[in-house]
């Protein structure tokens, strides 16, 4: 639930849809506006959203997160003798050629597998 900046409209969710009700009396009338919701003064708000996802950037971030999580959370601070920075240098270039999420997960699993844990 929210009120417009000018205090004239109340916005709320009802069954996964957004509706508005004019308040008329400003922000102080919010509770009265909510009570009038059944009077037919409500208006359904329609909108479309388009999101552009940069998959290569997302996958690079996921790889970095996985590498960093293992570096700072692995139970053996010596990483079983593995040079973890070298593992990153070895596997990170492969992320550029990933075509789908499962390929990224395979690369991450291969990298983590080198820890023999």
Residue 94 has pLDDT above 90, yes or no: yes
Are 70 and 49 contacting, i.e. CB atoms less than 8 angstroms apart? no
The structure's pTM equals 0.62
Residue 78 has pLDDT above 90, yes or no: yes
Percent helix, strand and coil across the chain, each rounded to 5? 50, 15, 35
Residue 57 has pLDDT above 60, yes or no: yes
Are 111 and 91 contacting, i.e. CB atoms less than 8 angstroms apart? yes
Are 104 and 61 contacting, i.e. CB atoms less than 8 angstroms apart? no
- Give the pLDDT score at 68: 97
């Amino acid at each position: 639930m929210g009120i417009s900046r000018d205090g004239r409209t109340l916005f709320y969710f009802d069954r996964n849809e957004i509706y508005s009700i004019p308040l008329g009396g400003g922000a102080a009338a919010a509770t009265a506006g909510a009570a009038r919701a059944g009077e037919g003064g409500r208006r359904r708000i329609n909108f479309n959203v388009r999101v552009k996802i940069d998959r290569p950037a997302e996958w690079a971030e996921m790889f970095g997160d996985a590498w960093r999580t293992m570096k700072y959370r692995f139970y053996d601070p010596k990483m079983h003798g593995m040079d973890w920075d070298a593992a990153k240098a070895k596997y990170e270039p492969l992320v550029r050629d990933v075509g789908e999420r499962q390929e990224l997960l395979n690369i991450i699993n291969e990298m983590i597998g080198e820890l023999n844990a």
